[in-house]
Structure 1
Amino acid sequence: MTICVSIFIIIFSVKLVNPIEGKECLTWIAFSGCIIQLIMLTINLLKNMWGGYTFGIDILLILGSSIPILICWGYYVAANSWISVESCMAILQTNPMEAQNYISDHTSLTNIFIVSIIFVVIILLVKVVKEEKLTRYKRTSIVMIFFLLNMSLLYRCRENLVTNIVYDTWIYSNTYNEYLQARKERQENLKQLEGVTNSGEDGVYVLIIGESATRDHMGCYGYSRNTTPWFSSMKNNKNFVQFNNAWSCANDTVSALTYALTAKNQYNSVELKKAVSIIEAANAAGYDTVWLSNQVQYGLADTPITSIAADSKQQVWIRDKVGHLKDGRYLDLPDYYDEKILPAIDSIHFTKKMLIVIHLMGSHNSYKLRYPASYAIFNDSRDKSYIDYYDNSILYTDSVLKNIFQKLSNIDNLKSIVYFSDHGEGIDKNLQHDSNNYIPQMTRIPFAVYLSKSFENEQHETYDKIKKSNNRYFTNDLIFNTMLGLMDIKLKKFEEKNNIIWSKEYDNSKERFRTSYGRREISEE
C-alpha cells in the first residue's frame, strides 16, 4: 500500500508541472495523501520505540489524519456541494437550534450507511498496513524515500481546497473580530463628526428584517400562489412602495446584515472595522434605539450583528432557549413563532425620536417549524413538500407583518417602516441558501417602504422621489444609506448620495450592482 501511494505521489508530482483538469481537487488528494503517509511513518517509528504499541493507536492516528477528508465528504453528502469559506463561517455563526434543524433536514439512512462504510474501509486499511512484512533494509529505504517525497510534495501542495478554505475562513473571522474590537474607536470618531449630534428628523422609524424570504415565492411579486394577501393589498396604499428589483449582497444572514446595517457595502472601500452601524449612527444623532429579535442571540462565535444589537439602548431577545422537539414540531410553541414580537412591541416606551429594529425568524429552515398548524394551507406539491412548508412560512410572515404594521401605524409620530429580507432561498431546487450551490433565487429578495402621512406632508419632495424609484435596482447592503436618508442623519464621512435609491445622484446602472460580496453581477442572473 505504501509503495502504491508513493508511486501515485511521484506521478502526481510530475503532472503538477503543467496545469491539468481538476488540479485543485488533485492537489488536495495529494496533500491529504502526504499527511496520511507521514502518520504511517510515525506509526512505524513508534512501533520501533515501543514494542507494546497497539492497533487502537493506529486507528486513532489514521482517523485523526482523515478528519479533513471526512468533513469534506460528509458536507458533500449532506449538502450536495463542497464545503467553502461561506460554509465554515456559517458553522461558526450558527447556534444549537439551527444546527439541530440543519442535521434533521439533511440526515438520512443513506448518509449514515455511507459514513459507516467509510469508517470500516479506514479500519481495514489500517489492518493491511499493520500486516505488511518488510525487511529492515526495505523498510528503511522506503521510509527515507517516502519521507523526502512527502515533505517536498506537502510543501508544494500547501495551497489546496482545504487549506485555502481554512486560511480564508481565518481571515474572514479576524475581520469580524476586528469589527468587534474597534467598537469604542468608531463611537469616538462619531462624536467628532461635525453636526451629527444635531442631525436627524424627529419621529419613529422602523426597520424590519426578514429571514430567508425570496420574492420568487411571494404573490405580491407574481408568484402563482397567494402567499402574501396583506402585502399584495398594500400595493393599493399610496403610501406603500414595493421595490421590484432588490437583491441581497450575500447568501447568509451574518454576511448580508454585516453590510446592510453598517457603512460598509460592495461599492465602497470603507474598512469594515471603521464602518459605523445604523444603531451607532442613530445613537450619536440622539435617537432612542430598540432591537427586538426572534432569533437566537449567540452562535459559536460572536458576530458583528451581536455587536450592532448590543449598542441598542433597549434590547429584547424572544428566543432565550432552544425549545423541545416532538414529531418535528416544538412542544413549547407558540413561544417561538414570530407573533411573539407583537407583545414585545407593546412593552416599548415610545419617544419622539426613535429607531426600532425588528429581526424576524421568517422562513429560516426548517420551514415547517416557522408557522402554527392553522397556516398549513398549501399541501399539494406531492413529492416536493418542502415547497409547501416554505410557502406556508411566507404566508405566516405576511400575517405577522400585517399585525406589526397595524400596531405601529397607530403610533404618534410614526414616519416610516422599511422591510427587507437578509437573503433569499433556493427553494425551487431545495438548495436552501448554500452559496456552494448558488442560484439567483438565493439573492432575490423583497424590499418595501411605508411612508406615513406625516412623512408625506413634511417631506413631500422626498416622498415623491421614493415612490418613483420603485423599479430601480437595489442590493440590501444599501439599507444603511436608505435609513440615513429617511432619518436625515448627516454623516459627512460616510455620505454616499449615489447609494440612496431615490437620490438624483443614484447610480442605477444595472451592470454596477453585484451580489455574493461582489463576486457576481446581478445582470448575469
Structure 2
Amino acid sequence: MFTLNNNVRAYFYAINQFNAEHQETLNTLKVTLPKNSFSKPSTVIVVIGESASRTFMSAYDNPRTTNDTTPWLREQKNNPDFIVFKNAYTSRVNTVLSLERALTEKNQYNSLEFRQSATIIDIAKKAGYYTGWYSNQGTTDEADTPITIVGKTADTKKWTNQDLNTLQYDGTLLNYLKEVNPSKNNFIVLHFMGSHDNYQNRYPVKFAKWGDLAKNEPPLDYDNSLYYSDYVLSQIYTYAKEHINLQAMLYFADHGTVPNGRRNPDMNPFAANRIPMFVYLSPEYQALYPQTTAALKHNEAKYFTNDLVYDMVCGLLNIQSNRYDETQSIASDKYKFTRETLKTNLGTTPLTDDKGE
C-alpha cells in the first residue's frame, strides 16, 4: 500500500508539473500545414514496440537470427511502399527514459526538460488530426508517468491492461482500431506490450512456433513474442489500409533486449540498444509529398536514435513549426546526424562503440 500511495503521489506531482508549463508550450506552439492534402480523410499511425531488438529479427538478416521471427516485415522489404531502417538505436534501454524523449522535443542533444516540451500529440492536434492513444501497458506504475501523461492528452485514450493479473495480448489493440472514425483525419498511437519479459506471456499459445510450452526457454520464447508482434503489425496495416485510409505508418521500439541476458541499462550489450524501425507510405502520400518520400528512402541506411522520433513525426506530417528542427528529422533531406555524432545511453555512449557483437 505504501508503494502504491507513493506512486499515486508521484503521478499527480508529475501531472501538475507538466500541466503548469505545458499550457504555455501549447500557447506558443505554431504549426504551418502543408499546401497539399489527401483526397479524403486519412489516418497516420505510430506503433511503439516494447523490448524488440532488430538483432533477433529475421527481417534484418542478422547471422544470430536462426528462426524466421518476422516473416511479414521481411516480405515488406521488397515492397516499394515500405522503408525498413537498418541502423536505428534506442537512447536508453529503459522504457520511460526512452519514450519521454521519443514522444517529445526532449532528446539527448538538447537541454529541454520533459515538462517544457511539445509532444507528438500536440503537433498532430495543431495539424488538424483527431488524436487517439491506445495502449496495452498499464497506467499506474510510477515508471510510466511521462508516457501516461502524453497519452492522456489525446482526444481519445484507452488502456487495455488495467488489471495487471490478466493477460492482454497486443492483438487486443485491433479492437480499438475498429472504433476509429474514417470520416476524420486521425493520428493514432498504439503502444505494444511487445516482447517485455516474461516472454511466454506475450503471445497466444497458437503463436508458440518454437520451444516447449511446458518449459521456460527465454531465447525461443522471445522469438515467439517477436513472431506474434510481426503478425499484429500486419493486421494493423491491413485493417487500416482497408478501412481508415492509412497514409503513413511508423513502427519503432522503445529499446531492445537480450533474451538470455540480465536486463540492466548500464550493462547491456549493443544488441539491446539496436531497435527495429520502419515506415509505410501510401502511393497517394508518395505522390503528394515526393520530397519527404525521397528523404526517407535516401536515409534508410543512415544512423538514428529514437529520441529523434518527435522530429521524424513532424517531417512525416509535412508541417513547419517553431518547435521542429528539420536537421534532426530523418524524414528531411536536411538530416544532419551520422554514426559518428549519435549517442545512446543518454548521451554517454557513442554509436561508434557498436562493434557488431
**Secondary structure at the residue paired with 1:233?**
helix
| Counterpart for residue 250 of structure 2 | 418
**Secondary structure at the residue paired with 2:278?**
strand
Alpha-carbon spacing, 1:193–1:393, altered in 2? closer, same or farther (3 Å): closer
- Structure 1: how far apart are the matches of 2:14 and 2:133? 23
Which amino acid is the alignment partner of residue 107 of structure 2? N
Matched, 1:460 2:290: yes
Matched, 1:310 2:152: yes
| Counterpart for residue 238 of structure 2 | 406
Alpha-carbon spacing, 1:410–1:438, altered in 2? closer, same or farther (3 Å): same
| Counterpart for residue 265 of structure 1 | 107
| Counterpart for residue 204 of structure 1 | 43
- Structure 2: how far apart are the matches of 1:408 and 1:277? 23
More strand by share: 2
**Secondary structure at the residue paired with 2:92?**
coil
* CA contact 2:247–2:285 (8 Å) conserved in 1: yes
Q: Which 10-residue stretch deviates more, 226-235 or 458-467?
A: 458-467
- Structure 2: how far apart are the matches of 1:265 and 1:344? 30
CA drift at 1:302: 6.1
From 53, 67, 73, the counterpart of 1:214 = 53
- Structure 2: how far apart are the matches of 1:417 and 1:388? 28
- Structure 2: how far apart are the matches of 1:424 and 1:322? 22
* CA contact 2:43–2:248 (8 Å) conserved in 1: yes
Residue-by-residue CA offset, 1:273-325 (whole Å, 9 max, x unaligned): 2111111222233221000111112214661111100100001211121225x
- Structure 2: how far apart are the matches of 1:233 and 1:302? 34
* CA contact 2:32–2:321 (8 Å) conserved in 1: no
- Structure 1: how far apart are the matches of 2:117 and 2:34? 19
- Structure 2: how far apart are the matches of 1:189 and 1:217? 40
Residue-by-residue CA offset, 1:461-493 (whole Å, 9 max, x unaligned): 22122112110000001110011111123221x
- Structure 1: how far apart are the matches of 2:280 and 2:182? 19
Which amino acid is the alignment partner of residue 221 of structure 1? Y
Give percent identity, aligned residues only. 35
Matched, 1:473 2:303: yes
Which amino acid is the alignment partner of residue 149 of structure 2? S
Written as runs of structure 1 = structure 2, the 5 A alignment for 1:43-442 is: 180-194=16-30, 196=31, 203-222=42-61, 223-300=65-142, 303-323=145-165, 336-379=168-211, 385-427=217-259, 429-432=260-263, 434-442=264-272
| Counterpart for residue 312 of structure 2 | 482
* CA contact 1:179–1:274 (8 Å) conserved in 2: no
Larger radius of gyration between Structure 1 and Structure 2: 1
* CA contact 2:328–2:337 (8 Å) conserved in 1: no
Alpha-carbon spacing, 1:470–1:413, altered in 2? closer, same or farther (3 Å): same
Say how many residue pairs are matched. Answer: 342
**Secondary structure at the residue paired with 1:315?**
strand
Structure with more contact order per residue of length (Cα contacts < 8 Å, sep ≥ 6): 2
**Secondary structure at the residue paired with 2:340?**
helix
- Structure 1: how far apart are the matches of 2:203 and 2:22? 39
CA drift at 1:180: 5.0
TM-score by length of 1: 0.61
Alpha-carbon spacing, 1:180–1:277, altered in 2? closer, same or farther (3 Å): farther
Q: Which runs of 4+ in 1 moved over 6 A?
A: none
Residue-by-residue CA offset, 1:240-299 (whole Å, 9 max, x unaligned): 000000000011111100000000111122233211111122223322100011111221
More helix by share: 1
Which amino acid is the alignment partner of residue 204 of structure 1? T
From 268, 276, 280, the counterpart of 1:450 = 280
**Secondary structure at the residue paired with 1:321?**
coil
* CA contact 1:180–1:304 (8 Å) conserved in 2: no
TM-score by length of 2: 0.88
- Structure 2: how far apart are the matches of 1:235 and 1:307? 35
- Structure 2: how far apart are the matches of 1:524 and 1:243? 19
* CA contact 1:247–1:474 (8 Å) conserved in 2: yes
Residue-by-residue CA offset, 1:135-193 (whole Å, 9 max, x unaligned): xxxxxxxxxxxxxxxxxxxxxxxxxxxxxxxxxxxxxx89x956751325323332334
Structure 1's unaligned 5+ residue stretches are 1-90, 96-172, 325-332
CA drift at 1:502: 3.7
CA drift at 1:446: 0.1
* CA contact 1:179–1:273 (8 Å) conserved in 2: no
From 342, 351, 356, the counterpart of 1:513 = 342
- Structure 2: how far apart are the matches of 1:185 and 1:502? 29
Structure 2's unaligned 5+ residue stretches are none
Alpha-carbon spacing, 1:213–1:302, altered in 2? closer, same or farther (3 Å): closer
CA drift at 1:384: 8.3
* CA contact 1:250–1:516 (8 Å) conserved in 2: yes
**Secondary structure at the residue paired with 2:45?**
strand
